[in-house]
C-alpha cells in the first residue's frame, strides 16, 4: 500500500486523534511559560546581585539546568520527588520540569536585556530619588522587556516543541497519541510526519511573529 493510499484511508483518523492531544500540549506549555518567565526573572536578579551567595546559587542553577537534558530533569521530578514526600501528577511534573528548565535559559535572556539598558538610565532614576527596586521596576525592566520580546517569542517556540517529551511522564499529548497510533497501525512514517506538520502549523506563525518583533525593535532604536 502506497503512502498516498494510507494517507487517504487513515489520514482523517490520524489527524483527529493527534488534534485531540493539543489541549494537553497547550495546557502544559502556557503555565510552563509563565512559570519560566517569573522564576527566570528571579534568577536573573540573583545572578546580578551583590551577594556572592545569591550569585553562586543562580550560576549553579543555570549551569545545571542548561547542562543536563530536560528529559532527565522530568524523570528526577516525577520519580524522585515521591521519595521526598511529594508525588506530583504527570501534569504537575511536566509544568514544573519545563518551567524550571526554561527559567535557566530565560535568566540569561533577562540578564542580557537588563544589561543592555544604559547605566545613565539607572543613575537618572536614582537622582530622582528612586530606590534600586523601583528603578528596576519602572525604568529598567520596561525598556529591557521591549528589547527581549523577540527572544521571548523564540523561547516560547522552543518550549512548545519541548512539550513533545512530556509523554515520558504520562501526559497524553500529541506525541503520546502519535506513539499510540504507531503501535496500533504500524504506520510510523505517516503518523510522525503528521505530528510534525501539526507542530509546524503553530511554530511557523510564531517564528514570523518573532521576526516581525525583531524588525520593529530595530526600527525603534
Look at residue 8 and tell me whether its pLDDT is greater than 70. no
Domain ranges within the chain, ordered by starting residue:
3-220
Smallest CA-to-CA distance from 73 within 57, 92, 96, 56 is with 96
pLDDT tens profile 70-123: 889 999 998 988 888 888 888 899 999 999 999 999 998 888 887 777 776 666
CATH superfamily of this structure's domain 3-220: MetI-like (1.10.3720.10)
How many other CB atoms are there within 10 angstroms of residue 85's CB atom?
6
Q: Which three cell numbers stand for residue 49?
A: 546581585
The answer to whether 165 and 74 have CB atoms below 8 angstroms apart is yes
Predicted TM-score (pTM) of the model is 0.82
Q: Helical H runs in 68-173?
A: 70-75, 90-115, 119-127, 132-135, 141-162
Amino acid at each position: 500500500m502506497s503512502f498516498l493510499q494510507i494517507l487517504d484511508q487513515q489520514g482523517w483518523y490520524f489527524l483527529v486523534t493527534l488534534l485531540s492531544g493539543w489541549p494537553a500540549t497547550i495546557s502544559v506549555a502556557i503555565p510552563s511559560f509563565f512559570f519560566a518567565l517569573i522564576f527566570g526573572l528571579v534568577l536573573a536578579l540573583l545572578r546580578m546581585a551583590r551577594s556572592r551567595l545569591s550569585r553562586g546559587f543562580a550560576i549553579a542553577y543555570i549551569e545545571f539546568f542548561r547542562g543536563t537534558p530536560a528529559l532527565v530533569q522530568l524523570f528526577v521530578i516525577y520519580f524522585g520527588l515521591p521519595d521526598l514526600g511529594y508525588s506530583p501528577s504527570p501534569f504537575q511534573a511536566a509544568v514544573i520540569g519545563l518551567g524550571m528548565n526554561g527559567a535557566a535559559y530565560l535568566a540569561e535572556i533577562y540578564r542580557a536585556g537588563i544589561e543592555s539598558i544604559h547605566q545613565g538610565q539607572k543613575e537618572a532614576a536614582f537622582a530622582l530619588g528612586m530606590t534600586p527596586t523601583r528603578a528596576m521596576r519602572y525604568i529598567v525592566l520596561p525598556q529591557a522587556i521591549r528589547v527581549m520580546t523577540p527572544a521571548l517569542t523564540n523561547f516560547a517556540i522552543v518550549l512548545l516543541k519541548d512539550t513533545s517529551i512530556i509523554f515520558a511522564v504520562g501526559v497524553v499529548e500529541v506525541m503520546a497519541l502519535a506513539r499510540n497510533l504507531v503501535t496500533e497501525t504500524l504506520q510510523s512514517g505517516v503518523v510522525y510526519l503528521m505530528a510534525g506538520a501539526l507542530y509546524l502549523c503553530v511554530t511557523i506563525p510564531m517564528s514570523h511573529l518573532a521576526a516581525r518583533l525583531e524588525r520593529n525593535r530595530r526600527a525603534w532604536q
